Amino acid sequence: MVSERGQAYTLEGFVGAMIVLTAMLFALQSVVLTPTTAGTVDQSVKTQLGTQANDLLRTAGSDGTLDDMILYWNASGGFAYASSTETGYGSLPPCAPARSPDTVCDSFGQATNATFTERGFVYNLYVRYRTAPDPTETVTRRVVYRGVPSSNAVTATYTVVLYDDMTLTAPEDAGGANLGSLAENEFYAPDVDPGPVYNVVEVRMVVW
């Protein structure tokens, strides 16, 4: 009788252990679905991120806020309100001319925050531009840099054509001289075309 009771207790303990192990295994498998765990995302989340990044750039390109960000450069050097001429805004969101009276920077930076940062995702933002008439000669500049992307990162790009009659949008230069009349060191991208086109800039966003 005692032996049978002992066997029953042993069996109950074994079943209980199996239940705990199964629950732990399920929990560990579920973790990879969360976007904030070491930057790891599953395929469906990755696809969604790519779509959102593309949509964000296309929308900003259509309404002009992407142009504003690209041109938000002080002729004296550096993006307006940026922490460094080399790393741009660093880990802060990109800045652009304020479209509301109670803010300094809004528009595109607000959109990136709402779409990615507030949901636990990380992104880097770059601009790549031509340095000579040969389109294969380009330079990439950091606008926002938040670290090395994970292996699951997604990339979205959008191309903006700059024209000679455009002007810088930074506060110290807003409404000033157009791009075509700037000195060589007053804007990061040079004038590479003898016609009305000033340069072609590719905005690249990497999200993970």
Segment 100-143, tens digit of pLDDT = 666 667 678 889 999 999 999 999 999 999 998 888 899 999 99
Q: How far is CA 194 from CA 13, 28, 133, 177, in A?
A: 82, 59, 9, 18
Question: Structural domain boundaries of the chain?
Answer: 1-31, 41-207
pLDDT at 7 over 90: no
Write down the pLDDT at residue 174: 66
Write down the pLDDT at residue 184: 85
Query: How confident is the model over 57-96, as pLDDT tens digits?
Result: 999 999 998 999 999 999 888 999 898 877 799 998 898 7
pLDDT at 39 over 60: no
What region, left, alpha or beta, does residue 124 occupy, with left being phi > 0 and alpha being psi -120 to 50 degrees?
beta
Q: What is the DSSP string of the chain?
A: -HHHHHHHHHHHHHHHHHHHHHHHHHHHHHHTTSTTSTT---HHHHHHHHHHHHHHHHHHHHHSHHHHHHT-B-TTSSBTT-SBTTTBTTTSPPP-B-SSTT-SB-THHHHHHHHTGGGT--EEEEEEEESSSSTT-EEEEEEE--SPPPTT-EEEEEEEEEETT-B--STTTTTSSBGGGS-TTSSSS----SSSEEEEEEEEEEE-
Write down the pLDDT at residue 172: 79
Q: Using alpha carbons only, how large is the chain's radius of gyration in Å? A: 25
Please tell me which residue, 158 or 95, carries the higher pLDDT value: 158
Q: CA geometry: angle at 20 spanning 15 and 26, to 5°?
A: 125
Query: How confident is the model over 160-198, as pLDDT tens digits?
Result: 999 999 999 888 776 678 999 998 889 999 999 999 999
Write down the pLDDT at residue 56: 96
pLDDT at 144 over 80: yes
